[in-house]
Chains A and B, each alone.
Chain A
Amino acid sequence: MNSFFKTVAVTAVAAAALMGGTAVQAEGERYILVSHAPDSDSWWNTIRNALALAGEQMGVEVEYRNPPTGDIADMARIIEQAAASGPDGIITTLADPDVLGDSITAAVDAGIDVIIMNSGTPDQAREVGALMYVGQPEYDAGYAAGLRAAGDGVTSFLCVNHVISNPVVAERCSGFADGLGVDLGDSMIDAGQDPAEIQNRVIAYLNANPDTDGILTLGPTSADPTILALEEMGLAGDIYFGTFDLGENIVAGIRDGVIQWGIDQQPFLQAYLPVVVLTNYHRYGVLPGNNINSGPGFITADGLEMVEALAGEYR
């Protein structure tokens, strides 16, 4: 019994010590970044690294928040909560404007400066009263990718969507289809988040539709298992394969010729620039006049070294 309580006490003290360690107050302004990403989405690691780096360089306090299961309604509560804690600025995605719009507008009305990053459009950002939008216009990026693939002779494709619940991300697929000049139809599959499931669904689709000559994945979550699926089917390097976002496996895939190109929306800039913009706005009253497009940038086998060195960390 005694030792039991001792364990509990030690745990509590350790927890309190850790908590103290993370709650250190930095000098200056305080900014909160709220994303829509579930805990399982490793792509956001770059965002967190860039956010921390920007906070360090600018001498401001930064915090990262996300809904653990990716539930957008929970995210709305997190934005309300962030606003209630009275930060100088909130940087957030606009994964679903219907759900998040009111919470963001209320924060803006309460005197907090908001920058929309990653998901959303410049128009939507203006509607909710944000200062600007920093990110990659998804449809346009998909369209550009579609044109490129059409030029390379692709005629039909599979779009592996691991975030079917986010309509903004799905626009990449429809943009790609339009750029390619084909009907989206059943080309987009709901792959889920589990690697093994994604792999099997890609295999199943390609078996059922053997004339598919192009694949588009929407991020490392869907790209990594797709690479494995293609290797298993002996199609790696044979089938035209483009992807959004970067990660270690994607970079390796580009180097090995399995993936033709990766579209980098440069998440680093999406987290870094809003902190810099907000800090300078609050300190010196200067604000860029336009939205900032962080992407799309096509990454191919040329000039891959630096990308390779920093993939998954800052790229």
Chain B
Amino acid sequence: MSETQPAAGGPDDERIKEIGGLRTWLIRPELGGIVGVITVFVFFGILAGDSGMFNPQGILNWSQVSAQFMIIAVGACMLMVAGEFDLSVGSMIGFAGISIAMFGVVWGLPMWIAILITFVICIAIGAINGLIVVRTGLPSFIVTLAFLFILRGFTIFIPQTVESRTIIGGIEDAAEGDWLASIFSADIMQWLFVLMADWGWIDTFTRGTREGEPVVTGIPMLIVWALVLVVVGHTILTRTRYGNWIFAAGGDAQAARYVGVPVDRVKISMFMVTAFCSTVFACCQVFEFGTAAADRGILKEFEAIIAVVIGGALLTGGYGSVVGAALGAIIFGVVQQGLFFAGVENSLFRVFLGVILLFAVILNTYVRRIITGER
């Protein structure tokens, strides 16, 4: 994107077509996401405006759920732009959580070492995923589907064999005072919320041991991680040469190879990024709730892909945006939680979720096609 040579880019150069400012903005992949986010907020503002969805606790609730989607969507998005899929995301979340618990609690290593080992193992598994895909030429759909089962199997087998249980608690005690664990679990900017509670802007607990404390104590690191990953991912994808390589590898791998893009390396690295994101998700979950369980993360791979697709990425690769995926995650999170707040009956909730997701994707696709004249 930033590689255009200034000398060849003069006004008379027939290779460069003038595009108006509005049009440049309209053909961005994020457009559908932006429209969707506005739509869902208006929708739920009307439907659930007075239900607690927009009080501090409610906002924190759907923000946290959206942030969860966002963390895995960043990885899934970059991988999808590079032309591949990862169906092992959900299993990787369960696997990483159990790994932290096994090393940190069962085998008693310091928590920061347990976390680092887990990151190394998971990223290595991501690399293996990628290596198998590029070496064999098999669809990543199949390879990562295999890893969905392999990882889930180990996630149940290892704690069952060693500890004869599939939920490992005691992580809170083991992580007490650990510098690395706190990066995943702390609430930041607590002073701001205490201040807001003092001003009467947000509610406080009315009884119990936390009486007088604000109901929202701070911004969870989960949300910070989500934002950091979005910013870093977006910067890499749009502002660096590596980002161009990712687009090229996903758009037309053969053409990219001809111009010297190390396609295989790019794809493998994106599998590693996806694994990294899953592990971040697992860390946030494990240190927030204090236990790791073998059934965590079921179906999360599809939720990541849904967020990415709502966010405007093409399933075929080569087109997409991390910001779009983040907006998709917000839409998904807000719809999922908002329907609860709107009092929709639980079993119908998934019907509406499906309808709204379908509607968002259709809207996304048609708006883009109509405006860009794309066929």
**Residues of A participating in the B interface, judged by any CB pair closer than 8 Å:** 8, 11-12, 15, 18-19, 22-23, 39, 63-66, 68-73, 76-78, 80-86, 96, 98-99, 102, 105-106, 108-111, 129, 164-165, 167, 190
B62, B203, B344: residue with the most chain A Cβ atoms closer than 10 Å: B344
Task: Give the nearest-CB partner of A79 in chain B.
Answer: B61
The reply to whether the CB of B295 lies closer than 8 angstroms to some CB of chain A is yes
A68 CA to B209 CA, complexed, in Å: 33
Please give the distance in Å from B64's CB to the nearest CB on chain A: 7
**Closest CB in chain A relative to B226 CB, distance in Å:** 15
Contact A96 B203 (CB under 8 A): no
26 example contacts (A-B, Cβ-Cβ < 8 A) are as follows: A8-B362, A11-B359, A22-B348, A63-B345, A73-B296, A77-B61, A77-B64, A80-B57, A81-B341, A84-B52, A84-B53, A84-B55, A85-B51, A85-B52, A85-B341, A86-B55, A98-B290, A98-B291, A99-B289, A106-B215, A109-B205, A109-B207, A110-B57, A111-B206, A111-B207, A165-B295
Given A23-B344, A64-B346, A99-B289: A71 in contact with B295 (beta carbons within 8 A): yes
Q: Closest residue of chain A to B172, judged by CB?
A: A98
Q: Does B208 contact A (CB under 8 A)?
A: yes
Beyond A86-B52, A109-B205, is A22–B61 a contact (Cβ under 8 Å)?
no
Question: Are A63 and B343 touching (Cβ within 8 A)?
Answer: yes
Query: What is the minimal beta-carbon distance from A52 to any residue of chain B, in angstroms?
Result: 10
A19 touches B296 (CB 8 A): no
B residues in contact with A82, CB < 8 Å:
340
Is B65 among interface residues, defined by CB-CB distance under 8 A? yes
Does the CB pair B208–A105 fall under 8 Å?
Answer: yes
**Which B residues are CB-close (under 8 A) to A83?**
57
User: Residue on A with the closest CB to B61?
Assistant: A81
B259 at the interface (CB under 8 A from A): no
Q: Which 6 A-B residue pairings sit nearest by Cβ, starting from the closest?
A: A84-B57, A85-B52, A84-B58, A109-B208, A109-B205, A99-B289
Interchain CB contact under 8 A, B342 and A19: yes
Interface flag for B299 (CB, 8 Å):
yes
Of B121-129, B160-168, B188-196, the one touching chain A: B160-168
- With contacts A98-B289, A109-B205 taken as known, whether A71 is within 8 angstroms of B297 at the C-beta atoms is yes
Say how far A29's CB is from chain B's closest CB, in angstroms: 14
Chain A-chain B contacts (Cβ-Cβ < 8 Å), number: 130
What is the distance, in angstroms, from B332's C-beta to the closest C-beta of chain A?
A: 13
- A154–B166 Cα gap in the complex (Å)? 29
Nearest CB in chain A to that of B97: its residue: A73
Give Cα A70–Cα B295 distance, bound, in whole angstroms. Answer: 8
Q: How far is the CA of A258 from the CA of B367 in the complex (A)?
A: 62
> In chain A, what residue has the closest Cβ to B54?
A84
Q: Which residues of B contact A129 (CB under 8 A)?
A: 208
The reply on B309 being an interface residue by CB < 8 A is no
Q: B residues 110-159 with Cβ under 8 Å of A? A: 156
B296 contacts A71, CB within 8 Å? yes
Q: What residues on A are CB-neighbors of B337 within 8 Å? A: 77, 81
Q: What is the minimal beta-carbon distance from B251 to any residue of chain A, in angstroms?
A: 28
A212 smallest CB distance to B (angstroms): 20
B210 within 8 Å of A by Cβ? yes
On chain B, the residues within 8 Å of A70 by CB distance are: 295, 298
Interface string of B271-289 (1 = CB under 8 A from A): 0000000000000010001
Known: A98-B289, A111-B206. A77 touches B294 (CB 8 A): no
A110 lies within 8 A of B205 (CB): yes
Among A71, A77, A167, which residue has its beta carbon within 8 angstroms of that of B165? A167
A residues in contact with B294, CB < 8 Å: 164-165
B156 cross-chain contacts in A, Cβ below 8 A: 164, 190
